[in-house]
Structure 1
Amino acid sequence: MDTARVSTLIPVRSVLVCAALVVVIIVAGLASMTIGAYDVNFAAVLGAVFDPSSDPDVRQVVLEWRLPRVLFAVLCGAALALAGGIFQSLTRNPLGSPDIIGFGVGAQFGVTLMMIVFELNTYMFKAIGALVGGLFTALLVYALANSKTMSSFRLIIVGIGVSAGLGSLTSWILISVSLEKAMMAATWGAGSIASLGFDQLLPAAIVFAVVLVGSLPLNRTLPVLEMGDDAATALGISPGRTRLAAMVFGVALVALVTAAAGPISFIALAAPQISQRLTRSNTPMGTAPVMLTGAALVVVSDAVAQLVGVPVGVVTVSVGGLYLAWLLAAQYARRA
């Protein structure tokens, strides 16, 4: 009896998966800090992190230049993965990711307006632009897709259409400005964490912590909402209020990353599904495993990006595109 009670309270598989993901993040993060113009081997990185009396030059390179990049990769991956879990649970569809239904493009459009049109390039103004753009897109998609009952298929299709329209507007803005401004926006639009330091990490971490705490109740309410509005209402959960909260918190997480690093695509799509399969969960809304999966994906992707000399967004798009093709094929085969 005691053993059964403990096994119910402690999801052993989830704990093991989380532990394995933490190891992957630490190893990949330490390995990524050996990559760069200044040659630092793995032992020197370990010494710089754990030994205060090690070479001060190496400590400066590792702790002041490279560590913030790794921490930002963890933060961005966790935020995007949690946003993906929220929207996939909300739409009850593995394709219900902010990358697919346009919220990420809306945040990108808002930042582009701030940077190019209003010439406000600080993190605060980019964060405001990303949040407003993402929320506007979310409300627009929700309004266009809402017809008495909310269909996840309709939401995704409308989101793809709105995303295409906003992408066209963004392209039109970029070709209408000077080459210098267009290059600046294009560089940001590739999705990179290379130039980010502790100055940007601290406010981003504070915002992430606030949004994470606010979204924790969704870990309980969204899986219930997946059973249908009638079941959720019978259990004392308001479907409308839950959807609104989910959209606000999900868009805030996407905006947080977009403002700091630009659009890092497909992590929100892939991480919840990978986490769900690893933990054998019935829902993509498992906060800790989902966030750790996203963090591991971005840390490993950024290490690969440094090796090949491209922004991390290029790596995630390349891998995510293959994953999306496989997911669509799997969905089609299941229905056939």
Structure 2
Amino acid sequence: MLTQVRRAGVRTVLTALGLALILLACASMLTGAGRIGPGQVIAYLLGESADAHLEMVVTTLRLPRTAAAVVVGAALGISGMLLQTVTRNPLAETGLLGVNSGAALGVVLGITLAGAQTGGAYLVWALGGALATSAVVLLIARGASPLRLVLAGAALSATLGGLTSAILMSDTTTYDLYRFWVLGSLAGVPPERLAAVAPAFAVGLAVAIAAVRPLAALSLGDDVARAIGSRPALTRITVTAAVTLLSAAAVAVAGPIGFLGLLSGFFARAVAGANVGARLAASGLIGAVVLLAADVLARVVIRPYEAPVSLLVALVGGPVLIVVARSRAVAAGAGDRLVRRAAGRRPRALPWRLPVRPPWPRTDRPRVLRAGPVSLRVRVRPAVAATLLAVLAGAAVLAGVAAGQAGATVAEAARALVGLGDPATTMLVHEFRLPRVAAGFVAGAALGLSGCLTQTLARNRLATPDLLGVNQGAVVAILVAGLVSAAPTMFAHWWIGPLGSAVAALVVLAIAGGTGTQGYRIIVTGLAVTAIAAALTETVLAWRGLTAATAVYVWSIGSLNGRGYGVALPVAIGLAILLPATIAACRRLGLMRFGDEVVTALGMNAARARLATLATAVALAGLAVGVGGPIAFVALAAPVIASRLAGPAAVPLLGSAFTGAALVVAADTLGRVVVSGAEIPVGVVTSVLGGPFLLWTLLTDRNG
């Protein structure tokens, strides 16, 4: 009896969703950003008007747009539901897991390499990118916790986004198309593009329907599925094919729209429970309803202009992501275990091991150095590690001033640094390269120190300004300041970066509920804030002229081009003030890794210590973004490397700063010399290399 009541309830909800879809489709046909009102459209549909302009608007613009919203929404909704079911992870979604980014990279490659312009051409290239990414995601998903899978998706998205940015930097025409397409707009979708992807959508839907029964068996576990005659490996391959076809079709039509699969899967699970078939139908209807509603709203919210659909979906999907992250399903999926086990343990993130025994003792007891009445207590291993990292940073600086399109040997660069070289080399080093290297050095040091502080504060080595929304908060603040100011460059507004970072950090902590044992919530909340801020950034870029948008885009992915002593000075002053203060508080920082109870028992004010640490980290990250934009993954990698060398007993503040400086300077140098006659922004280099680093961190952490 109860089952019959449930089925009746599901049928009622599905019927209501179908009616809502029909009503929204009617609203879509009657609504537009222009001056044509609903009465005129109704008169045309009833045959009472034969106006040619009206016919063009209805049949060429609004009808294909409405159909595209339904198809794309249903495709992304079903894709999200399939991924959540096959991975048994409520956070799985094509946007969060990088599938959309893979399809987008494929389309950009198609536009650049093959001049793709049609829907069929977009689909072919999107299929290739989506297929490769889906395969990687499902490979990682086996045995992964919800948090681990989402972070792996973030790493994939960052790497694929870096590759996409590298391509766009070399082709202004492609970027001009991309900056509008990436917003996920449904405006102006030609009927032939929709017709070209219809077969892929139909096949993907058919494959998804065929996978319903195997998915129901797989949801009980691989062993149970095999016992009842199902083949888990074949089921995963089938789901990969369906997700690839559906997501590639959606991206080819409307661009990468995130969060829609998460929304659809979440609400479909709430409506249909464990019934996979009902969830499939519900997710498709919910995705179509949400996207169609967002598209209708986009036409009227800032009339006569249109708001980006992806931004509106992100404003709804971000809070839903946070709700899902706070649910029991995610907590039971080892999200907390990953955080608890990562806290206080030596990271295993490096893809190599030291070839020889370190030149410091394994038992790193403090040593006391005396000079008359003055004594200093130091630990040998952290001190030696910081010295080695300082030498490495110095070597990176020397390589940075020596390397370039106009080459100079290391010896010539060293002589030019002290004013002994020939005049041409001396001018090249002192006027062009050294100021840029100095800006990269201080920005990297600030990011490395900021990452060390946030990891210590959250007791989680994955909690960095990149993943907590702090960097993107600074980006949005500086972009807004640039819009309302007549300053010629974005980094003229470096001073507002810390303010934007502070606002983003406060929002993340307020929503996540603090930095307690539920640390995974902070990371997922940060990812949601980052996604919303990124959508805002893309919107600003689309609304500016091509020349201005290109310059801002380069900065928004991280670049040191044109930077010098003027923008490096504020960060250097901030480091000169904050670094000694954090070193003086190093003992307190070390105690914070053991929890508030230990801190309070030793007579410290835990709340005040956390606030001071957070304020310092946010200020450093904001200043660094003001100099070079959001240079990705440096704040993650620098403390991991420094901690590996310094040992688990120390909070590697100096080592993190020197490592961050070395990474940024080295990445900028690599970007300047890797392609002859062109320059790859430092943020692209760190994204491409940092994504695999994060993946390696996740996959080699046996304690997660």
Residues 115 and 185 in structure 1, CA contact (< 8 A), matched pair in contact too: no
Q: Deviations over 1:176-226 (max 9, x none)?
A: 222233212102113122311223233331232123234344422222122
The separation in 2 between residues aligned to 1:182 and 1:240, in whole angstroms, is 42
Q: Tell me what 2:659 maps to.
A: 293
Q: Deviations over 1:57-84 (max 9, x none)?
A: 2211112221122222221111101000
Task: Give the letter aligned to residue 663 of structure 2.
Answer: L
The separation in 1 between residues aligned to 2:527 and 2:585, in whole angstroms, is 25
The separation in 1 between residues aligned to 2:416 and 2:515, in whole angstroms, is 59
Task: Give the letter aligned to residue 452 of structure 2.
Answer: G
The separation in 2 between residues aligned to 1:290 and 1:112, in whole angstroms, is 28
Task: Give the letter aligned to residue 627 of structure 2.
Answer: A
- Report the alpha carbon displacement of residue 122 of structure 1 after superposing the two structures with TM: 5.7
The separation in 2 between residues aligned to 1:66 and 1:237, in whole angstroms, is 46
- Report the alpha carbon displacement of residue 239 of structure 1 after superposing the two structures with TM: 1.6
SS at match of 1:101: coil
Q: Tell me what 1:302 maps to.
A: 668
Residues 81 and 290 in structure 1, CA contact (< 8 A), matched pair in contact too: yes
Instruction: Name the larger-Rg structure.
Output: 2
Q: Tell me what 2:150 maps to.
A: none
Residues 458 and 515 in structure 2, CA contact (< 8 A), matched pair in contact too: no
Q: Deviations over 1:253-301 (max 9, x none)?
A: 1111111111111000111011111111235x32111111112212222
The separation in 2 between residues aligned to 1:81 and 1:112, in whole angstroms, is 24
Structure 1 residues 149 and 69, CA, compared in 2 at 3 Å: closer, same or farther? closer
Q: What TM-score do the two structures reach when normalised by structure 2?
A: 0.44
For CA contacts below 8 A with separation 6 or more, give which structure has more relative contact order. 1
- Superposed, which structure 2 residues align to 1:1-336 within 5 Å? 6=367, 9-50=377-418, 52-120=419-487, 126-146=493-513, 151-282=518-649, 285-308=651-674, 309-331=679-701, 333-335=702-704
- Report the alpha carbon displacement of residue 322 of structure 1 after superposing the two structures with TM: 0.6
- Report the alpha carbon displacement of residue 7 of structure 1 after superposing the two structures with TM: 6.7
SS at match of 2:402: coil
The separation in 2 between residues aligned to 1:140 and 1:249, in whole angstroms, is 17
Q: What TM-score do the two structures reach when normalised by structure 1?
A: 0.90
Range that drifts further, 102-111 or 216-225: 216-225
Q: Deviations over 1:73-120 (max 9, x none)?
A: 221111101000000001111111110111111111111111234444
Task: Give the letter aligned to residue 6 of structure 1.
Answer: R
Aligned length: 330
- Report the alpha carbon displacement of residue 46 of structure 1 after superposing the two structures with TM: 1.9
The separation in 1 between residues aligned to 2:529 and 2:669, in whole angstroms, is 33
Range that drifts further, 301-310 or 10-19: 10-19
Structure 1 residues 37 and 319, CA, compared in 2 at 3 Å: closer, same or farther? closer
SS at match of 1:10: strand
- Report the alpha carbon displacement of residue 54 of structure 1 after superposing the two structures with TM: 3.3
Residues 458 and 516 in structure 2, CA contact (< 8 A), matched pair in contact too: no
- Report the alpha carbon displacement of residue 10 of structure 1 after superposing the two structures with TM: 3.2
The separation in 2 between residues aligned to 1:122 and 1:217, in whole angstroms, is 37
Residues 508 and 529 in structure 2, CA contact (< 8 A), matched pair in contact too: yes
Where do 5+ consecutive residues of structure 2 fail to align? 1-364, 370-376
The separation in 2 between residues aligned to 1:155 and 1:37, in whole angstroms, is 43
- Report the alpha carbon displacement of residue 234 of structure 1 after superposing the two structures with TM: 1.3
Range that drifts further, 219-228 or 146-155: 146-155
The separation in 2 between residues aligned to 1:258 and 1:322, in whole angstroms, is 23
SS at match of 2:703: helix
The separation in 2 between residues aligned to 1:223 and 1:134, in whole angstroms, is 24
SS at match of 2:501: helix
| Identity within the alignment, % | 34
- Report the alpha carbon displacement of residue 159 of structure 1 after superposing the two structures with TM: 1.2
Task: Give the letter aligned to residue 161 of structure 1.
Answer: A
Range that drifts further, 116-125 or 6-15: 116-125
The separation in 2 between residues aligned to 1:210 and 1:15, in whole angstroms, is 21
